Amino acid sequence: MSSRALADNPAMPGTDYDIVIVGARCAGATLATFLARSGARVLLLDAHAMPSDHVISTHSINPPGMDVLDELGVGDRVRAIAPPSRIIRSVFEETCGEIEMPEGRAIYGPRRHRLDELLQHAAVSAGAHLMDRTRAVSLLYDGDRVRGVRTNCGGRDREFTAGLVVGADGRHSSVARWVGAEEYLGYDAPRACYWGYWNAPGFWKTDPAYRFDMYFSIIKGVVRIIFQTDHDQLLVGTCPPADRIDAWRSDPSGMLEAVLAGDPTIAPLIQASPREGKVRGTIRERYYFRRAAGNGWALVGDAGHHKDFAVGDGITEALLQARSLAGAIAVGTDAALVHWWRARDVAALPMYFMGREIGDIKPPVELQRIVFDRLNTVPGLKERLVEVIERRLSPLDSISALQFLRWVGLAALQGRWGVFEELRVAAPRAVATTLEMRARTRLLARAESEIARENRAAA
């Protein structure tokens, strides 16, 4: 929000800062940079010493996220420390397919303490005031409107007033809890995730068997992944069902290496060098949307929306949200923030639903096989999937319903009658997804109408 827009808003008289952002990682630091560049007085808070690693992160940044990093001036720094991933190999049982990003477009996976440091430096360079090791302990109110935060740093309590408080404090957001942000479309993660880091062996990229940059496989129901990250390391992991993790709790290293060794592509990689550091894991995740705007507050990134890590879209989502929220804040009205929230939902829902399908522990195997079988044969299908990664096409529109039903019919003619039972189970969820998209689009239209009404009144 520009200083002028805030000054013109009677709901925001003299304050210590225009905006206080609680949380200084991807979403918070990015938002702080955009706002500070516009002339706003920004306070960026984080309870931890910065920079620090974010252990629950697959690091993946898709091309639209890299576009935001370029706007921030840190894109080339990320490219200098992390290798590009342009060839994505997907394996489903016996079927293998590859998607290749166009020249100049790639996915990057920097370790989080390096990425977050770059983002925080950009925010401070733009003029934001960063206070790390400073915990927000409560909100300040003027009536029912949030007017700032109360903090504690080294045992000392301080209060900071602001025209707007933004929660960028992650999945367990304190700001979301304090304002009572309602959750919707939430569900508990059906899978856990465990991963480790291995140095890339000498045959990585030289052996024709490893011409890919990123790998995702489902073999006999077991999910395995490979991501490139900085310093020539590979993140290699698996996603076991959340209700079968007792053995993982007692021996995460042994379980991870045993499961990874069951994939003939991964086994040589982890046998060529010892794992670096501890096994990382997350067990009890929850995926959701939360109300993202209210009287004097907003939520951005995981604080307001968290999706299945199987789609590797969390950082990209946070960066895009931060950029669009900065534009909404610049308008200087509550209606603009509500409009941003509704637009966030419409934009994020397709990937959210795709993550729900990919992460399901009881997926429609035959229906998935139909798609994988055609990945290498149907003209334009790979290109449409690249458009999904680029966020130019909704995953819900990548394959038409008519085309998919034709594929189902052909499978049935081949004697694969199980497709009909899976279709019977999947169809109601597909209908519910369509209805939800329509409902959220209507809410966005109402928010647009409210802005138009305010503009007419102001004129």
73 and 46 belong to one structural domain: yes
Which of 323, 346, 369 terminates a domain? The answer is 346
Q: What does each C-alpha distance from 101 to 361, 389, 435 come to in angstroms?
A: 29, 9, 32
* pTM of the full structure: 0.93
pLDDT surpasses 70 at 260: yes
Question: Is the domain of 244 the same as that of 199?
Answer: yes
Give per-residue pLDDT as tens, 52-89: 665 566 689 999 999 999 999 999 999 999 999 999 99
Q: Do 390 and 268 sit in the same domain of this protein?
A: no
**Is 102 part of any domain?**
no
Please name the helix (run of DSSP H) or strand (run of DSSP E) that holds residue 153, with its range, or none: strand 145-153
> What pLDDT digit, counting tens, does each position of 176-197 carry?
999 999 999 999 999 999 999 9
Please report, for the domain that includes residue 137, its CATH number.
3.50.50.60
What is the residue whose two structure tokens read 């052909």? 410
* Residues 165 and 128 both lie in one domain: yes
Is residue 455 assigned to a domain?
no
Q: What is the pLDDT of residue 244?
A: 84
Tally of structural domains, the chain: 3
Pairwise pLDDT comparison (360 vs 4), residue with the higher score: 360
Question: pLDDT averaged over the chain?
Answer: 92
% of residues, the chain, pLDDT over 70? 95
Average pLDDT over residues 311-320: 94
pLDDT in the model for residue 55: 57
Residues 334 and 413 both lie in one domain? no
Are 162 and 293 part of one and the same domain? yes
Q: Are residues 313 and 419 in the same domain?
A: no
Each residue's pLDDT tens digit, 388-401: 999 999 999 999 98
- 131 and 24 within one domain: yes
pLDDT score of 418 more than 90: no
Of 170-179, 258-267, 356-365, minimum mean pLDDT range: 356-365
* Residue 176 domain flag: yes
Q: How far is residue 173's CA from residue 291's CA, in Å, rounded to a whole number?
A: 12
Query: Does 232 share its domain with 267?
Result: yes
Report the DSSP pairing between strands 214-219 and 87-92. parallel
The answer to whether residue 223 is domain-embedded is yes
Higher-scoring residue by pLDDT: 387, 14: 387
139 and 244 in a single domain? The answer is no
Question: Could you tell me where the DSSP H helices lie in 165-313?
Answer: 174-179, 246-250, 252-261, 267-272
Per the structure, the complete domain to which residue 224 belongs is given by: 193-282
- 99 pLDDT band, cuts 50/70/90, is very high
| Domain co-membership, 20 together with 37 | yes
Comparing CA positions, the residue from 334, 287, 323, 314 lying closest to residue 144 is 334
Residue 131 inside a domain? The answer is yes
Residue 324 has pLDDT above 80, yes or no: yes
Please give the pLDDT value at position 54. 58
Give which of 190, 214, 181, 189 is closest to 200, Cα–Cα: 214
The verdict on residue 86 lying in a domain is: no
> Is residue 252, in this structure, part of any structural domain at all?
yes
**Is 253 found in the same domain as 203?**
yes
Residue 415 has pLDDT above 80, yes or no: yes
Looking at the domain assignment, is residue 452 inside a domain? no
For residue 4, what pLDDT band results from cuts at 50, 70 and 90? very low
